[in-house]
Amino acid sequence: MSDRPPTVYAVDDEPAPLKAVARLLRTAGWNVATFSSPREFLERIDPAAPGCLVLDMSMPELTGLELQQALEARGCALPLVFLTGRSDIPMSVKAMKRGAVDFLTKPVDREDLLVAVRRAVERDTAARNERAEVAAVQEQLATLTPREREVLEHVISGKLNKQVAADLGTVEKTVKVHRARVMEKMRAASLADLVRLAQRAGVRPA
Amino acid sequence: VGQLSNALLVVYLADVAISVWRRGDRRRAVTVVGSMLLFIAAAATHAALVNHGKVRSPYIVIFFFLGLILAMGYELNRNVLGSREMARKLQTSAEELRDSEERLRLAAKAASIGIWAWDIPRNDPGASSMTRAVRKSGESEQIGFGRFLSSVHPDDREGMQESIEKAVAERTEFEREYRVQLPDGQTRWMAARGAVERDSAGAAVRMRGVSLDVTPQKEVELELLQQRSELAHLARVTMVGELSGSLAHELNQPLTAILSNAQAAQQLLAVDAPDLGEVREILGDIVAEDKRAGEVIQRLRLLLRKGEVNRQPLDVSEVVEDVLKIMRSDLVNHRVTVAVAPSPDLPAVSGDRVQLQQVLLNLVLNGCDAMRRTAPGERRLYVRTERNGDGSVHVLVADRGCGIPGEKLGGVFEPFFTTKPHGLGLGLAVCRSIIRAHGGEIWATNNVPDAAGATFHFSLPAAAARS
């Protein structure tokens, strides 16, 4: 998990609104970094940096939607807040479907912008926490032996120890031992807990 | 004494002969003086013969006298007959003259033509008289030059006087259209044309000419001009409609900056020890952005204005800049990049800024439209201004679109020619009418074989240098 403070990245090809929006966010206490072109942003962005992106929709060279795609392709999951001069519904639907947090119309009111930015940063923090958790579970998962992994897959599909033993061609007692070890390695307090962790780590029931 | 009187008589006769000769009647001079001389010579010879006793006869009975009287009688008769003949001829020609004047008057009346002659005095044109056939009654009246000028519409008076004085001074033909105000308050359009007559020394003595009532033609002409201006305005409004999204965006940018700046300043001032330096900076930015928004509105207002055509010396490169400012966000939206190559030594043209903006807006919009199917990275527009060899100004707008099918190249400027599903097909037709009204030409070419797309050109004559 990253301890870096979140930053709001603002991208707009027009200097005046860019400067003003950055100023507004700074006075609200945010760390702000500004970029005057999407390309400049793509070149300098660190995918690991937490925060969110405030993006003007219509820019020369690269539209907001294209930048969204480019970020996705780079594995950068920064939440986006779009600013747009026109209320273009099809475009906003497209952006939201791709995971934009908000779609604000210029000129944007301080409260609307701050709410959107806060929500975006929260979503980023949550996503980062989520990703950290998944990474941790996967780490635990990696410590399982192949046999323990098999037992896990069968257990989370809701089978009794007896059925698992039959499926794996072993005895119920051995399954019990494996199961206890899995519970311990995965740090699961109950079967329900184990199912949840396995699901999060993307383990498919047998 | 006899010799002296004879000599005096000869001198007198010579004088008569010369003066009659000078008056142009040579035949009579020869006849009269010749016969007198003959008579004197014959009388002197006769007297000498009688004195010497060679001839015996009384002085009075001289056959010479007889012949002479006969000859004079004949001459006199001939003159009497001649003068009667001449009087008859004179009467006929006077009738013919009246007839011809009447015909001319009728023709003039039928064609609403006034015929006038103005005797130009040496120093004082104001006191001279001008005969003018009054248009409606067909009667002539004598009016002074001053009174004639006072009947001319105040707006045209100065120009009229200038043209007349110029024609007199330069002895050129005089031609001008002007308005007159009739006593009943009606305004009529007149066209006058005249020529200056000179005396043998070359000084202007008279100006003759005709005046024609051209009110109906002028009204049609003005109506046409009005319609053309309204059509241009309509096309402009349509175009601004197409650009409205883009213009709204252009306004939104400064408004966004202003709102965010103002709210940031409010936030800054909400703390106990506000950073006044930053607040000052913010206020400066707000002022600048507000001005920018004002400029956008000003440009828009100018385009939408339904005003008279206002010709002034213009730098076409500046008009190109104006247009690209107006179109900025539309170009961004269309993903079109524009390269501009303005000529450094472009002569000014005499033009209406708004109408020329309209032409360029049209060409740039069309260029963007033509590149809809071009790959975004290839959507490049090239605008160039240059000076032609003959001093005129050439402007070209080249796109990288689909080009114009060869057989349609000539027709794109015709009204109702359109390739757009919702186009009226008036844009280019209006462009042509604007450019022609400016004395220029507009045409289109395809860029093949060097590149794809089409190029629209127009040329405008350079504004006449002010002397």
Which ipTM score applies to this complex?
0.78
CB contact under 8 A, A58 and B249: yes
CB contact under 8 A, A108 and B289: no
Q: What is the pLDDT of residue A8?
A: 95
Regions in chain B scoring below 50 on pLDDT: 122-138, 466-467
Closest to B257 (Cβ–Cβ): which among A16, A27, A60?
A16
Dihedral angle sign, alpha carbons of residues B422, B426, B427, B429: positive
Chain B environment of A28 (Cβ under 8 Å): 267
Question: A187 and chain B: CB distance < 8 Å anywhere?
Answer: no
Q: What is the pLDDT of residue B208?
A: 78
Instruction: Report how far residue A23's alpha carbon sits from residue B4's, in angstroms, rounded to the nearest whole number.
Output: 133
Closest CA to A90 of A123, A119, A57, A60: A57
Under a CB-based contact definition with an 8 Å cutoff, are residues B148 and B131 in contact? Answer: no
Interface probe with A: pick from B247, B256, B324, most Cβ of A within 10 Å? B256
Instruction: Report how far residue B33's alpha carbon sits from residue B27's, in angstroms, rounded to the nearest whole number.
Output: 10
Q: What angle do CA B45, B47, B52 make, to 5 degrees?
A: 95
Closest to A16 (Cβ–Cβ): which among B249, B253, B263?
B253
Question: B276 and chain A: CB distance < 8 Å anywhere?
Answer: no
Which residues are B207's β-sheet partners? B118, B196
Task: Confirm whether pTM is higher than 0.90.
Answer: no
Give kind and range of the element (H or E) at residue B419. Answer: none
Q: Phi/psi of residue B396, each to 5°?
A: -135, 145
CB contact under 8 A, A17 and B267: no
SS3 of B74, please? helix
Please give the average pLDDT of every successive group of 10 residues along chain A, which has 206 residues: 80 92 94 91 85 85 80 85 78 76 89 94 90 88 90 89 89 91 90 88 83
Q: Phi/psi of residue A105, each to 5°?
A: -95, 135
Closest CA to B197 of B189, B205, B209, B185: B205
Question: A190 and chain B: CB distance < 8 Å anywhere?
Answer: no
Question: A126 and chain B: CB distance < 8 Å anywhere?
Answer: no
Q: What is the pLDDT of residue B62?
A: 62
Closest CA to B247 of B337, B329, B365, B353: B329
Interface probe with B: pick from A8, A14, A113, most Cβ of B within 10 Å? A14
Chain A environment of B267 (Cβ under 8 Å): 24, 27-28, 110
Report the chain B residue with the minimal C-alpha distance to residue A14.
B253
Q: What is the pLDDT of residue B423?
A: 67
- Residue-wise pLDDT for B390-449, tens only, equals 889 999 999 998 888 877 877 888 877 777 666 667 788 889 989 998 999 999 998 877
Chain A environment of B292 (Cβ under 8 Å): 16
Q: What is the pLDDT of residue B58?
A: 63
Placement of tokens 């046409």 in the chain: B224
Question: B274 and chain A: CB distance < 8 Å anywhere?
Answer: no
- Residue-wise pLDDT for A108-150, tens only, equals 999 999 999 999 999 999 988 888 888 888 898 899 899 999 9
CB contact under 8 A, A107 and B337: no
CB contact under 8 A, A108 and B253: no
Please tell me the distance in Å from B336's CA to the nearest CA on chain A. 8
Instruction: Report how far residue B342's alpha carbon sits from residue B386's, in angstroms, rounded to the nearest whole number.
Output: 7
Placement of tokens 């980023």 in the chain: A124
Dihedral angle sign, alpha carbons of residues B192, B352, B416, B237: negative
SS3 of B14, please? helix
Query: Mutual orientation of helices B215-269 and B316-333 as an angle, nearest 10°?
Result: 60
Closest to B260 (Cβ–Cβ): which among A20, A58, A86?
A20
CB contact under 8 A, A60 and B257: no
Under a CB-based contact definition with an 8 Å cutoff, are residues B108 and B132 in contact? Answer: no
Question: A59 and chain B: CB distance < 8 Å anywhere?
Answer: yes
CB contact under 8 A, A85 and B329: yes
